[in-house]
Each structure stands twice: as C-alpha cells, then as structure tokens.
Chains A and B, each alone.
Chain A
Amino acid sequence: MEIKKEYAVQMHGITKRFGSFYALDGVNLDVEKGTIHSLLGENGAGKSTLMNILYGLYQADEGEIYLNGELAAIKNPNIAISHGIGMVHQHFMLVDNFTVTQNIILGKEPVRAGGILDMKKAREHVRRIVEKYGLQVDPDAKIEDISVGMQQRVEILKALYRGADLLILDEPTAVLTPQEIDELIRIMHNLVADGKTIIIITHKLKEIKASSDFCTVIRRGKGIGTVSVQDVSEEELASKMVGRSVRLAVEKTPAQPGHTALELDRVTVAGSRGVDAVTELSLQVRKGEIVGIAGVDGNGQKELVEAITCLARCKSGMIRINGAEVQNTTPRNVVDHKISTIHEDRQRRGLVLNFTVAENAVLEKYREKPFQKHGVLDRGRILSFANELIQEYDVRPEDCAQQPVRGLSGGNQQKVIIAREVANEPDVLIAVQPTRGLDVGAIEYVHRALVRERDRGRAILLISLELDEVLHVSDRIAVLYNGQIVGEFQQEEADEKTIGLLMAGGKRYAENG
C-alpha cells in the first residue's frame, strides 16, 4: 500500500494480541484528510483497540502507523496529543466537580510565574474555540450541572484546545437524544469544513449514513474492507459487520391486547437528591402488548423499575398486578404475583457472576419443589432444568450449565436471564435495556423473544434508552421526562422527531397545534 501525505492516518498490518487471543489481526486503515471516517464493528470486534493503539494507550505487536505520510511511534497519549490526535472516550473523562474550563485546561494549564493558574487567559482561550466551531458551552458551569450532550462538547473542546487536527470519537451517540445527535453531526461537519479529520467508532448504521464519507468494517479482529458510505445501504453495512444477512426491522403482527395486567396509579417515588424521581405517574400495560418507555437516562427509569419490583418504596400511589395491590411489599411478593424482570445491569442485578449457569437459572425458583426437598437442593433436578433452558434458548457453549456464568459472552448471559424470567411464566415481563452492550445478532434475538412472549399473551413493559429500539419493538410508546409521562403514542403514529423533542423536555406538538 502506498504511503501518501493526503492521508491523515494510515495504519498498516496492525496486529494486537492479548495472551493467545488476537484482538486485531493485520488490520489496515487509511483515513483521508478532511473526511469523516467511520469504523464499524460489533462489540469486541476490535475497533476500540485499534483506536487505543492510534492514541497510544496500547502498543501494537505488529504493524506501522503513518501520520500525514510519516512513520510515527506513538508510545503514549502524550505523543499522540503532540501529533495533533485527540480522542473523545465513550465514557467521558471529565472531573464532575470541576468547571468546564478547569477540565479543558487540565494538564496544559496557562500559568503565570510560579505555576499560578491564569484562569482569565484560560477562559478567553476556551471562549474563542467555543465561538469558532459553534459549540455551545458555558465555560464556568460545573460538569455535574450540565447535560450529557454538553459534556460531550467539553470533551471535543479538550481535544481542540490541545490543537487536535484528528479527532477520534468512541461511540459518541450512545448517550445522546436524537436532537443532540443532529447537533453533534452538525459540529462534526463544521470541524471537517475547517480542515480537521474525524474518525468515529460506532455500530449505529443510521448515523454512519448521516455523517460519514467512508466506512471501514472490522469483524473479529480482521479488516473486512473500506467502502464509500454513499454507495452502500444500511443493510449491506450490517451484513458486512455481522458476516451474514441481517434483518434490521422487527417483524410482528398488530397487537391484540387483552385485559390490564399491570397498572400504575399516580405513583410517586423519591429520588436520591430529595427531589421526587417519579411524580404521579400513571400507566397501564395490557396482556398481549408491548409498552415501550422512551426517555433520556436519569429521568426516573431506574426508580420506576425499582418501585414496581419493590426494591424502592413508593411515596404515594398504587401499583396493581391483575388487580392486586403490590406497592411497598417485597420483591419476592412481586415475583409471586407473576412479574418477571430483566434488569438493566445483567452483571450486577441479573446474575450472580460467580455462580454457575444452573444456579443462576433457579435464583427465583430454588425454594420451590422439585428443586429442593426439606431445605436441601436437588442438584440433579436443577441441572436438568438448566439444560432444558440452555437448549431451548440456544445458550452457548451448550455444556455451560456447570460453568460460572461470568465466562459467558454478554449475549449469552442475557439469554440465561431471559430464559429464567420467561420460565417463570409471568403475566408481566419488564425488560430494562435488554439489549445494552449486545451486538446486532443478539439484539435481533432479544427483540424476537420479546415479540414472541407478547404473542403468548404476556404484558411487556420495555424500558430503553435506545429510541430506535423503543420505536421498533413497542406497540404503544410512552415518553418519560422528569419522572412523568409526557406523551403516549401508538406505534404507527409515533415519529422520532416528536418523541425526541418530548424526551428533551420540549412541548408536545399537539399542544402547539
């Protein structure tokens, strides 16, 4: 391959091993100057590893990196920064109780004699960059007080302050509302117009189409190739990423709702900071329908789920399951009333990681016959039950029943949880972020499982931060903002713009006419 000055970055034959595992195996990446180049791959495909090598956080075992046509040895982030590379990490690297300006200047502070900070100069410098690229941020605001979208702009500012010409954005849209994503894409185009180059790591196909010029696909540590984004469809990109054809749309028939299974009646739940996290919220979920709750993280989702499952107290209001009140009882009582929950954090709430798959499979059933007799567990019965689930739900590896669940991949861990919860034959199934951190194939599986359970007559409450998921899977969509339902739509009448505005606290279109 040719080394050219027109390329901001050329990574050739990059190989990275962790022990005997090849995270990257001879990957090539050529990024033209002044373009937006996306890096597409499933979780664990190696795209973040590749970028961490470019940023000097890891060292490649083999391969070369050329920056603007010259060979570069990037041994640590400081060297990367001095070459004009900036990285915005997926988990923001911001000090919460610092101001925007303090975060930006950290490590490269303007000082007067004796190391004394020159905050006035710092503030002016920050304001100049803010104005140049139209990044709206208050330089004196504290990070903990500003929105996630704004925090991300601070991360971009940090890189620009250090003179970055090449920006690496790691999954930048995962935490943003649709409006914030539009804003980010606008900023990206501003930056590129000014001659900057951007590499964006993502697995969201829609955003690649909306933002990028080129896309390089990585699958299981191997480069699959680079395409010009305007020449390919989302489906083609998805197939390249997964290695087989994928259906992005969720197939289902219209819902045939029955009677109300779960009813929330003016439920109020206290939050952690003395303000109510959920305020007078009312909602009904009927058998045979999927109700999706859309909303930005931190608007009461967590507290709502905890109230329904009795992990948190309701200050007021009633929660009824098939007509019976369950609020402020115990989690076990809720399970006995036929509610099952797929919790958001499968590693902390969903599973006991050091227990075997079989033990995890009976976490809610161990005290029932035939799994125990006189308080002694019947290991044989537990094992055969677990093996049935493993078969039915295609958990891999198939002989995992006696292995710790920790060793399974995220998708298979999630299958164990879904299998366990569905095996309870619940009337109401609550799924919180059921596809978080899963790859396209596993997401497809989870969505189909939810629809299948709906068709078996269960009432399903889906709570997700991924708006696309809520829009595609749900029959009815409720928008949660600031602890209240601010809008309800049938799936066919829901559009992304309206819901996105409501999620961000905007007024209802209906009210504005």
Chain B
Amino acid sequence: MLNDLSLLIGITLMYSAPLIFGALGGVISERAGVINLGIEGMMTIGAFAGAAVGFYSQNPWLGLLAAGAAGGGMALLHAVASVTFHADQTISGIALNLIGPGLALFICRLYFDGATMTQPVAHKLPKILGDNQFNSVTQNINVDVTVPLALVAMLILWFVLYKTKWGLRIWAVGEHPAAADTMGIHVRGTRYICVILSGILAGFGGASMTLAVIPQFTPVAISGQGFIALAAVIFGKWTPHGAYGACLLFGFAQALTVFLGGGKAPVPSEILAMLPYLLTILVLVLFVGRSAAPKADGEPYEKGVR
C-alpha cells in the first residue's frame, strides 16, 4: 500500500515537472499581455537542445542551460512578431509550434546520423536522494532534481509577481498597457523580457522531459505537454501557484495512466493514455471563463491608438 502510494506520488511529480515549467512560462507571458500558444514548440526545441548538448558535453546541467537558451531564442521570434510587429499572437504561436518540432528534427538528423532521435545521454540530471536507493519506497519518491527546481521556480515567480515593483509593472502592462505607458513604464521592453523568460522556462520544461524523465530526445518526447500547460494556466487563473496546482492534477492523471496501465485495471492502456487529455478538455470546458485573464491579454499595444 505504502509502496503503491509512493509510486503514484513519485510518477505524478515526475510528469508534473515539465508541465510546471511550461505553465509558469505561460503565466509570465500572459501576465504581461502576450498570449504564448507556442509553449509546445518551445518545449520541443528545448527538449532537443537539452538532450543533444547533454549527449555531446556529457554534462546534463549544460544541457539544461542550452534548453533554456533554445526556448528563449524561439520566444524572441514570438516577441519580435507579436510585440514589435503587432502580429496576431495566436498565429505566431501556432507557427512556432510548427517550427519547433520541424527544426528539432532537422538538426537532429544533421547531428545524429539521420536519426530522428538523439542517442541517450550518459548522465541524466541527478535524483534528489542520489543514485543508490535500495528501499522501494525511497526509490519511488527519489524524484528528479527538476521537481524541486520547478517548485523553486514557482515560488520565485510568485514572489516577483506579487511582492516586487517589477511584478506590479508586469501586471499593469498586461491589464492596461496604455496606463503603464503614461506612468513611464516601458511596455514593449517589459513584454519582450516576459516573453523571452517564458521561452526559457518552456525550454527548461522540455529538458526536464529529455534529461530526466527519459534520457533522450524522440519525436514524441513532447506530445501535447505544452498545450496541457496552457490549459493549466487557464485552470490556475493565470497565477503561478494556481498553475502549479493544476499541473500537479494533470501530472496525477498521467501517473494514473502509467500506474493502472500495469495490468491493474481492466481497461485497455490506449484508453487510459487518453486520460490526461480528456481531463484537459473537461477542465477547459468547466473553467475557461475569461474573467481571470489579464485584460489586455493578446492585444498588441500601439502608442497613441485609443
């Protein structure tokens, strides 16, 4: 019993970590008023960059940094398109979701003998209790270091958004950019920073899949996590802590899939695998009201346009 429970908790946390990074990215971008539908694409490119750099450098931490840089680079494209050129943010985000996997596969084939997956990294990111755990319970809860990192990222983002002047400004830029502008706040600069941070976080999310959960990049390593993360943003009412909780719920659904898939339930595993996605749809249907969304979310800001 304790064994089952600890296993369930362990898997939940493991699958939640990538979602949490992605969702925190969504929160910071949308708080500043830029919808970032490209989280999925940024996670994919991060997942690849993390695994590839992790493989060649043999250092998973370098891989993690590379993943953040790759995600941030993609996000820069989004910022240029949507902040500077006032492009439709939905379209720009979708474009990034197409570019992300395409670019990842293209570079992967270049550097890994035409294969669509990287070779496994020699060293994954460490586990919180070290490598040698023989007790099955401690083994179950010996989760990847990305789990506490995700918690720390959430706490930092919460603190910045609610307790600091930068948070107040980000909030203002997302709710009423013209008001922020008249108060001397640099709206575009703020949005650029937030969108790029969003990409960096999404990149981390991708790498927490390919440097921790599985040891390599595959074309299906990121399959919908970015969209689930966006659902978590909405479910969590655009707050870091809310999104964190929502990700744990989605991670739990994924854990149930794995847990029950081991022959414990008389349901085909293909049906079980749909669980996280079905939950996403259900949550969106029940909680999607725009009431909690930042008022200027998705609206380009043009000076002097009333």
| Cβ contact within 8 Å between A106 and B172 | yes
Stretch of B18-26, B81-89, B182-190 that contacts chain A: B182-190
| Cβ contact within 8 Å between B168 and A97 | no
Contact of B172 among A76, A78, A95 (CB under 8 A): A95
CB contact under 8 A between A117 and B168, given known A93-B179, A95-B176:
yes
| Cβ contact within 8 Å between A109 and B165 | yes
Please, which residues of chain B bring their CB within 8 A of the CB of A89?
A: 182
Binary per-residue interface labels of chain B (158-173) against chain A in the complex, 1 for a CB within 8 Å, 0 otherwise: 0000011110110110
- Shortest C-beta distance, B293 to chain A (Å), equals 11
| Cβ contact within 8 Å between B163 and A117 | yes
Please, which residues of chain A bring their CB within 8 A of the CB of B175?
A: 95-98
Please, which residues of chain B bring their CB within 8 A of the CB of A81?
A: 184
| Cβ contact within 8 Å between B304 and A57 | yes
Binary per-residue interface labels of chain B (171-207) against chain A in the complex, 1 for a CB within 8 Å, 0 otherwise: 1100110111111110000000000000000000000
| Cβ contact within 8 Å between A111 and B165 | yes
CB contact under 8 A between A106 and B185, given known A57-B304, A95-B171, A96-B175:
yes
CA distance A91 to B182 in the complex (A): 12
| Cβ contact within 8 Å between A107 and B176 | no
CA distance A115 to B159 in the complex (A): 11
Within 8 A of B (CB), among A67-124: 76-78, 81, 87, 89, 91, 93-98, 102-103, 105-109, 111, 114-117
User: Helix, strand, loop or mixed for chain B's interface?
Assistant: helix
Interface size of A by CB at 8 A reads 28
| Cβ contact within 8 Å between B182 and A102 | no
CA distance A106 to B168 in the complex (A): 7
The verdict on B306 contacting chain A, using a C-beta distance below 8 Å, is yes
Please, which residues of chain B bring their CB within 8 A of the CB of A76?
A: 184
- Shortest C-beta distance, A154 to chain B (Å), equals 11
- Shortest C-beta distance, B166 to chain A (Å), equals 6
CA distance A433 to B274 in the complex (A): 55
| Cβ contact within 8 Å between A94 and B168 | no
Name, among A77, A95, A96, A102, the residue most crowded by chain B CB atoms within 10 Å (CB to CB).
Answer: A95
Please, which residues of chain A bring their CB within 8 A of the CB of B304?
A: 57-58
The verdict on B127 contacting chain A, using a C-beta distance below 8 Å, is no
Please, which residues of chain A bring their CB within 8 A of the CB of B169?
A: 106-107
Please, which residues of chain A bring their CB within 8 A of the CB of B163?
A: 116-117
Binary per-residue interface labels of chain A (395-431) against chain B in the complex, 1 for a CB within 8 Å, 0 otherwise: 0000000000000000000000000000000000000
Please, which residues of chain B bring their CB within 8 A of the CB of A97?
A: 175, 295
- Shortest C-beta distance, B92 to chain A (Å), equals 26
CB contact under 8 A between A93 and B165, given known A106-B183, A107-B185:
no
- Shortest C-beta distance, B30 to chain A (Å), equals 15
CB contact under 8 A between A94 and B184, given known A106-B169, A115-B164, A117-B163:
no
CB contact under 8 A between A95 and B184, given known A106-B169, A106-B172, A116-B163:
no
| Cβ contact within 8 Å between B184 and A78 | yes
Nearest B residue (CB) for A57: B304
| Cβ contact within 8 Å between A96 and B295 | yes
CB contact under 8 A between A98 and B172, given known A93-B179, A115-B164, A117-B164:
yes
Nearest 5 Cβ contacts at the A-B interface:
A107-B183, A93-B179, A109-B165, A78-B184, A115-B164
Would you list 26 pairs from A and B whose C-beta atoms are within 8 A, ordered by A residue? Answer: A57-B304, A76-B184, A77-B184, A78-B184, A87-B182, A91-B306, A93-B179, A95-B176, A95-B180, A96-B176, A97-B175, A97-B295, A98-B171, A106-B168, A106-B169, A106-B172, A106-B185, A107-B185, A109-B165, A115-B165, A115-B166, A116-B163, A117-B163, A117-B165, A117-B168, A158-B183
